Chains A and B, each alone.
Chain A
Amino acid sequence: MSQNKLFTVLVPIISVFLGLLAGAIIMLVSGFNPIEGYTALWNGAFGDSYTLGETIRRSTPYILTGLSIAFAFRTGLFNIGAEGQVIVGWLAAVWVGLAIDAPMYIHLPLAIIAAGIAGALWAFIPGILKAKLGVHEVIVTIMMNYIALFVTNDIIRNVLTDRQTTTEAIPASASLASDWLQSITLYSRVHYGILIALFAAVIMWFIIQRTTIGYELKSVGYNEHASRYAGMNVSKNIVLSMVIAGTFAGLAGAMEGLGTYGTISVMSGFPNMGFDGIAVALLGANTALGVVLAAFLFGALKEGAGEMPTGAGVPTELVDIIIALIIFFVASSYIIRWILLRFKKEGK
């Protein structure tokens, strides 16, 4: 058992290391100094309090989308729809922020709850289709992503604004942004959402590990038929799992809407938080703590990457390749696991 745990810790670390190594080789081959490149990456992510704040800000929605996918995964569901759930959550949060006038202690929670409910509703549809009709959730969630994207764009243009591309900023009473946090991080956009994200991670851990519901959800994930035979309501569990996953993703939208931007803009493509969330969940081995750590790694990589062209002269395209390689190795942890197992057997 403890060996298993060691493995779960060791595999991601080796993956990241291999990814960095491969990135370094690519940089060497292309004639750039990898040490300089990685120093720029490091400085871009943790160099001072500003970049640190931005890294935390960028990680916040990753934590929530990662949790969303990890949670569904525990029940054997593949929630590709986090992307759409983020978008509707974002829209709902900003909408409530703009439409309602209330003191902060009502307004802010209301906007956050609206985002959660919007995400939950968006995930409920694929959940119920899967549970009642057996329609595969991957297909439905992908379709729901596009519906979310285009409906949201239309609502921004025609309902929230008069044919503009960005809404007005939400009032301070609905904002997660904090002057205090900004002032200690040289005006980065870090906001109180990180507390919500961490709290959500605790909630996930609690549901999965400490409640009967969590036990049933996991059980359905392991073996649907056995669970049914044991008297569990499989349909209910599938829907419930999707709804909870959707809530997490909807909250990720609230982080962007209420924290980072305070507005919502017409999107020309997916913001990619949901898709990156899949990698985050995989890297985090679908556990709450793992997801939080993986989200920070992703946030740091994405944030630090911006510094590489200006700091070390590495072209943007190469930076994308390096970051993709690191993610590739991280995602291919199965291979590393396999090699380690081989290695161990031979050792015996």
Chain B
Amino acid sequence: MKNRKFILLFALLLSLGIVLAACGGGSDEEETTDSTNSGDDAATEEGSSDYSIAMVTDQGGVDDKSFNQSAWEGMQAWGEEHGLSKGNGFNYAQSGSKADFMPNITRLVRDEYSLIFGTGFLLQEDIQKAAEQFSDTKFALVDAIVEAPNAVSVTFKEHEGSFLAGVAAASKTTTNKLGFVGGIDSPLINKFEAGFIAGAKSVNSEIEVDVQYAETFDDPSKGKLIASNMYSNDIDIIFHASGGTGNGVFNQAKDIKQNDPEREIWVIGVDRDQHEDGEINDQNVTLTSMIKRVDVAVQEVANMLANDQFPGGEILEFGIEEEGIAIAETNTEAMTEEIVNTVNEWQEKILNGEIEVPKTREELETFESSL
């Protein structure tokens, strides 16, 4: 009997403790937000911008060495330029799953950010919904189309860059077998695939390209597995368009290089210049990277907003011409002058409209039959 009472008392105390802790927290929080708020004001007075920007990542996160990271770097650069700091003029919200997209967007809207970026086509529906609900906030969606007067769609001509990557790979390969590792089989990644194959076959129609999809952007182990299969099947260059999954492709290439430094295998990076990711001992497995300047696009859109020229409802398309797409030449040992020259030749042909680079598998078929 005594024990029972004791336990009951204990439980009561515990629950009381929890309630008190919650209440205590509440008042504390007010104080702290007060202090940070005053800090905020000071910072905005110092800073030269009345605008604040934020981004919602997809599952990759801001350290995916790829797409999200590039966007975040753009945001940091923009913030620095305007004298802002993280959490104080610009910020990001990381999404662990699809379920987090909408709450993250709403949270940033209610924190009164003036422009919110959604990075990745996975956020399309949610940014669309948010743009309709919160008409006073500006939105920008990278890689997919959103239709609203207060939102701008930022897309890239990835097929053009991938075409050049294909040209580079075709000039470098010794086995005439190339690999392509995609993230999720989707219209966006199909653009990379079509461009890459078209580029490779334009140089040498004998070349075979093995196409594999990991069905995820954030699982390096799957990327490693696919790369391992490809490299053991005589494929010597892999182009990955798979975000974080691609880190596994790099790891596999480096593992092989570690055991057999003589073997000629390469990886073509994506989104950012992935030169660093390919370093192994004093060699580097990164042949080149198909750079997609998400950072440039983010800064540009943010500047448009700051100059009151936000292109709401429009679709901005960044290609080679707009300096949104480029081929990295960091690895000068692998990217010989000869290859660079070939790439430049084809780049000219794209720029002057001589070649129409295919964007889908259907277009690729017609392109291949015209070769």
C-alpha spacing A164/B121, complex, angstroms? 11
Contact of A306 among B8, B10, B61, B93 (CB under 8 A): B93
Closest to A268 in B: B216
| B125 adjacent to A166 (CB under 8 Å) | yes
Residues of A296-324 whose CB lies within 8 A of B: 303, 306-307, 309-310, 313, 316, 320
Interface check A248, CB cutoff 8 A: no
C-alpha spacing A254/B14, complex, angstroms? 38
Q: List 12 A-B contacts (CB under 8 A).
A: A13-B11, A39-B26, A50-B106, A50-B110, A54-B103, A163-B185, A260-B99, A310-B87, A310-B93, A310-B111, A320-B96, A347-B3
Interface string of A205-248 (1 = CB under 8 A from B): 00000000000000000000000000000000000000000000
| B107 adjacent to A265 (CB under 8 Å) | no
Query: Quick check: which of A3-11, A97-105, A111-119, A281-289 contacts chain B, the rest being far away?
Result: A3-11
| A-B CB proximity, top 6 nearest | A268-B216, A39-B29, A39-B25, A316-B94, A165-B186, A35-B25
Write the nearest CB–CB distance from A8 to chain B, whole angstroms: 12
Closest to A169 in B: B125
Interface check A36, CB cutoff 8 A: yes
| A163 adjacent to B102 (CB under 8 Å) | no
| B219 adjacent to A268 (CB under 8 Å) | yes
Residues of B1-57 whose CB lies within 8 A of A: 2-4, 6-8, 10-11, 14-15, 17-18, 21-22, 24-26, 28-29, 32
| B93 adjacent to A269 (CB under 8 Å) | no
| B217 adjacent to A268 (CB under 8 Å) | yes
Interface string of A167-195 (1 = CB under 8 A from B): 00000000000000000000111000000
Please indicate the chain B residues that have their CB under 8 angstroms from the CB of A68 in the complex: none
Partner-B contacts on A (CB < 8 A): 2-3, 6, 9-10, 13-14, 17, 20, 33, 35-36, 38-40, 42-44, 50-51, 54, 58, 153, 157, 163-166, 187-189, 260-261, 263, 265-266, 268-269, 271-272, 303, 306-307, 309-310, 313, 316, 320, 340, 344, 347-348
The main secondary structure of chain B at its interface with chain A is: helix
Please indicate the chain A residues that have their CB under 8 angstroms from the CB of B6 in the complex: 347
Interface check B69, CB cutoff 8 A: no
| B14 adjacent to A13 (CB under 8 Å) | yes
Counting chain A CB atoms within 10 Å of each CB, the highest count among B15, B26, B61, B97 belongs to B97
C-alpha spacing A310/B86, complex, angstroms? 10
Please indicate the chain B residues that have their CB under 8 angstroms from the CB of A2 in the complex: 4
Contact of A58 among B10, B11, B99, B108 (CB under 8 A): B99
Interface check B184, CB cutoff 8 A: yes
Please indicate the chain B residues that have their CB under 8 angstroms from the CB of A51 in the complex: 103
| A268 adjacent to B125 (CB under 8 Å) | no
Closest to A270 in B: B97
C-alpha spacing A153/B108, complex, angstroms? 31
C-alpha spacing A56/B17, complex, angstroms? 25
Interface string of B154-195 (1 = CB under 8 A from A): 000000000000000000000000000001111100100000
C-alpha spacing A347/B1, complex, angstroms? 12
Contact of A268 among B14, B96, B215 (CB under 8 A): B215
Counting chain B CB atoms within 10 Å of each CB, the highest count among A50, A187, A313, A348 belongs to A187
Contact of A17 among B14, B98, B184 (CB under 8 A): B14
